[in-house]
Each structure stands twice: as C-alpha cells, then as structure tokens.
Amino acid sequence: MADTYDLIVLGSGPGGYVAAIRASQLGMKVAIVEREKLGGICLNWGCIPTKALLRTSEINHYLTHASTYGLSAEKTGFDLAKIVDRSRKVAGQLNMGVKGLMKKNKIAVVEGDGKITGKGTLSVVKDGKTTELAAKHIIIATGARARDLPFAKADGERIWTYRHAMVPKEMPTKLLVIGSGAIGVEFASFYSDMGAEVTIVEMLDRILPVEDEEVSAFMLKALTKQGMKIHVGAGVEKLEASGKGVKASIKGKDGKVSADDFSHAIVAIGIAPNSEAIGLEALGVKTERGHIVVDGYARTNVEGIYAIGDVTGPPWLAHKASHEGVVCVEAIAGNKPHPFETWNIPGCTYSRPQVASIGLTEAKAKEEGRKVKVGKFPFIGNGKAIALGEAEGFIKTVFDETTGELLGAHMVGAEVTELIQGYAIARQLETTEEDLMHTVFPHPTLSEMMHESVLDAYGRALHY
C-alpha cells in the first residue's frame, strides 16, 4: 500500500522545500522527496557556499589593500583547506536548518530517487528498497545541473564545474573560465582576488550578456583593470587536460586560433534540467529543450502535475523558484493568487564589483517601442561610497516617458545586490517617478544613489 498525501514535492531545493512549507501551513499533508541533501543545489552547492567563498576573497582583497585605509597587514596568507571547510560548514548549518523546518512543519522527508509512476503515484528507491507514495498533487522541483562542454567533460581534477570549483584541492595559478554569466564571473572574481591569474572566454559579444549594455561594458573595464584577461566573441575550440594542467585552443573574435596553457579550467556555460528518468515521458508531460512547460500557476499540461524552479524556464534563480512554489501551492489550495510572472525578479551577481538588475534594460525598452527617460548616478558622487573606499560603479534607472512607470533598474558597485530590492518593491507597488522623487532616503547611505538616479532621469540630480 502506498503512503498517501495531499501533496508530494519531488526535490528539496529553494523551490521545493518552500512549497512544502507553505502547503503544510495551508493544512495539507505533505511529503518531500530528496536524493541528496535537503536544500538542493542552491543551499549545498550554489548560492550559499559560493557567498561564503566570496566573503573570504573580499576580506583577502581588503587585507592586501590595507594601506588604502591607513592600516598595515604583514605576512598575509591563507589556508585553502580552511577556506573550503568554512564554506562547507555554512552550507551544513543551513542544511540542518531546513531539516528543522521540515520537522517543525510536520513534512515527511523521503530519501531516495523519485519517479512518477502514474497519475498521482510516485515511487522512491534507496539502497534497493522501494517506497510507494500517492497524492492528488505532485510538484516537480528537481532543478538542474551544470552543462558540460561536448568535447571535454569535467573531470574534477583539471576541468571543473561549479561543484568542483567550490571544493578545490589546490589553488589554481592560471585559471580559464569558460562563460561569463553570473556563475563564471563570480568564480573569476573569487579566484582572482585569491591571487590566481584569470582568463575569461565568452562566446557572445559582451560579458554578463543578460545585463544592460552599459553594465557589461563597465564590468569589462573593471575586471580587466583587476588583471583579468577577457575574450568576448570568442570560443574554446579544444580543451585537453593532463596531470600538469589544461591546454586550450581559443578562437578569437578575429577568427584566429591561439593555444594557451592553464593550471585549471572552469566550465560555466549554462545548465541542463534534471527532467530525465522521473517519469515525464510516460505521462506525456510537455517539455522544451528538456525544461518542463508550465503556466502562471506552475501547472503542466497533465492534470495534477506541476513544476517549479530550474527544471522549468528562465530565469534560473533560487528566489524565482521559491516564489513560484508559493504561487503554485496557493493555487492548489484554491486561494486564487496572481499568476506567477517573471517581470519583477531581481538578478544578482556577487562579484567584485557586484551587479544587480531588475526589469527592462534600456535597449529592451526601446525595442518594445517605448519612449524612455534614463537616469544615471555614479558611486563617485556618493559620500558613503567614498568613505567606504568603494567609489567604483553606477546606478541606472529606466522610466516610461509617458506614464512615469519604472521599467528597469541596473546597478554595478559595492552592495548593489542588497540595494536592488528597493526597486523591486517600487515595481511591485507600481510606483511612479514622482513617488520615488518624494521618498526620503537616509544620509549617508549608498541608497541615496537610487534617489539621485531617479532625479537624474528628469534632469534634477542634486549631487553630480
């Protein structure tokens, strides 16, 4: 006999475990299935441990530039094993936190590989033992994995995915990063600040290609100034690993191919959804390039089957998965939530400098035929940024000229990943430029630049 629930969640990442908690709060009997660790990739191998590593490299940067602040730091160094250990302990602490949340909310945790075997049924296999589960509603939250180069699979020794890059056995001396999305740029930033010589290769014509063009251009200059070599409009034609390092053939923008040697390479060229071998084909669940197709309530084309997070469409972000899970569960409970949309999801890159954005870029807004007003304010015009020694960056806002609607905001600089939420709230509340202009921002703060950027869009900037 199958164990029966109101809802089964397959996968316990930030989408899955949040959906399970909300369902429990709404009175449902819930089971969550996980084959590895509670918290999924984000908590155990992504968002959280990478931020622990980046905090270390940030402090190392300050130590090596102590004289800038009138301080002296002699004989600085690091212990790689302890750096990795701290990162793993941070992930472990949060993993235990999720376990506690499951217990608190009376959610049954079933360990093993889950597969949907029919409408409303799911089997879980662990160590040769099968557990049968049944529920009217099943949410698929199986996430995604790093995509390999077709001609050079990661070996964990010389060619790494993000998982390998988080637990290095040795510090790279000369590192090749293939791909310049958020993951690639974050690891490039970490290893560069820890002393590695870093080269980034990006197939498209600019780094961080989903960001506003001005942000991409600024980051190219900033990272180059830090000592990184960056090739855009370029590709890696060949990658050969040996016991001593990695030999790469890089085809440049001009079509010429050059060979270079590296100690290690990180492949950060995107993700592949974990949609195989979970029973989708037999049920006829619709997918596009492996990603499950859903509507605004996370419903698939098969009744009773839902999907959230990275196994569905972009953007592939933890906070998108969590919110998607809540909307899905609220709809299952009959609470008639607003359908989930991607228009108001902030994106963050935790490099040095940081990058954050929300909404339309200037180019995208113009493509849609909108007349826009654009404001910009530099960090160098902000007292708090200067006092922090972080006067590198800018904030850019894009408004609809006719309605005053905030169409998008784009930031690069210190702590912008914290600042961006202010604009997310403004967009959620459909705030106009007038509302933002009349809002009082505290002084001295970095957030004042948000105000000044809005003012600048209307020719009213006060401090620059």
Q: Which of the residues are catalytic?
A: 443
Instruction: Give me 458's structure tokens.
Output: 């209307």
Size of the chain, expressed as the number of residues it contains: 464
Tokens read off for 431: 């705030």
| Contact between 433 and 406 (Cβ < 8 Å) | yes
The answer to whether 29 and 51 have CB atoms below 8 angstroms apart is: no
Instruction: Give the bridge partners for 149, in sequence order.
Output: 152
Do residues 144 and 271 lie in contact, with contact meaning Cβ atoms separated by under 8 Å? yes
Report whether 395 contacts 376 (CB < 8 A): yes
Burial 403-425 (b: 16+ CB within 10 A, else e): ebbbbbbbbbbbbbbebbebbbe
Distance (Å, whole) CA 128 – CA 144 = 25
362: tokens are 């200037």
How far is the C-alpha of 464 from the C-alpha of 449, rounded, in Å?
Answer: 10
Strands in 406-413's sheet, in edge-to-edge order, are: 347-349, 354-359, 406-413, 394-400, 372-378
CA atoms within 13 A on the CB side of 153: 1
User: Which candidate, 257, 250, 254, 300, places its Cα nearest to that of 275?
Assistant: 300
Structure tokens of 93?
């602490």
